[in-house]
Structure 1
């Protein structure tokens, strides 16, 4: 599974007011591993940044003046994200700017070029209702260091978001992995799952079993016979 964690920096908040993308940063994740095959470009927006935006990203008009225009990097960018799942924090913001840039080129909306878009802000609000769910707040919650983040940067923010996303979704791993018909076998729902025969099971040694029983003896003694691991399981009612 190929996923692209994406972030942009812009000259302002509203693409319909003429604001443009000035930086695109993408981090590739394949099978939940960072590949290092990232995409990062600064872009000449052909206009100045609004003061509030400039304070956020620090990318001056002078710095961006010799950078390529979006149209010059558009095809390379489109090929990079093509058919991938795109992961964005607060996706409507970035998508509005990407759609505006694609519209200038006469292209369909951004979503038409990728498989799907996942918004980590929506997911974070579902997982942590009533709490702060900014990227900085999520870094703190999942103990991901962002001490080097003094200004917003598209690639840096995409790298942090990739770590946050992997931490947020860590509980999704299981023994049943969707592999497709070629690599697995169909279950009752029609999805292909990994063959469990490939999982290696190690039997406990006699010494390990004895140590386990000794531990249960101590628990049973300290709990005055209330050790739940030795409780008799009531037979199921078949009536």
Structure 2
């Protein structure tokens, strides 16, 4: 199969169907045929968005979401993906402190966002999950990032995200960074309430926002 467009369609289809081995095989084939690693991740992300929609419609279960995250991680482990990350490591596009906020242990969205950021040349300091506001403050002081990215899957984390920003304000470091919040339930009103500079409902859009910020700087 020589047509990358057809390969993309098949990758999206098999991600949606959670056919792990088929996705890995097609991803490796696409990379060998010259597909850009960033384009591959964006393609996989389209399939994962479809998985997310099936979950929202109660056609898939939480185990299916977890499996889609495992598929994404396996793609990141492909040799050509690793080579791309190594080549981009010293590009210095920007530095991001990333974490899933306290009260939430979901890491699928965070890990996908991290992979896409790194594929685009960002350095990512991953704080993990269930991260308290104090840890975000410490990480900003120590690492001097350009961007702080808060991830969440639970709707009850809105106040927690707001508390993180209040803590950054109290520490006198809020204005040093751009802040983005990522979650399926995020919208402009919630973003404004929390106090972020922007928000995203998917990793691809979030990455483009971060790249835009760095170009503006």
Quickly name the TM-score band, shorter chain normalised: under 0.3
| More helix per residue | 2
Q: TM-score if structure 2 supplies the norm length? A: 0.23
Rg (Cα) greater in structure: 1
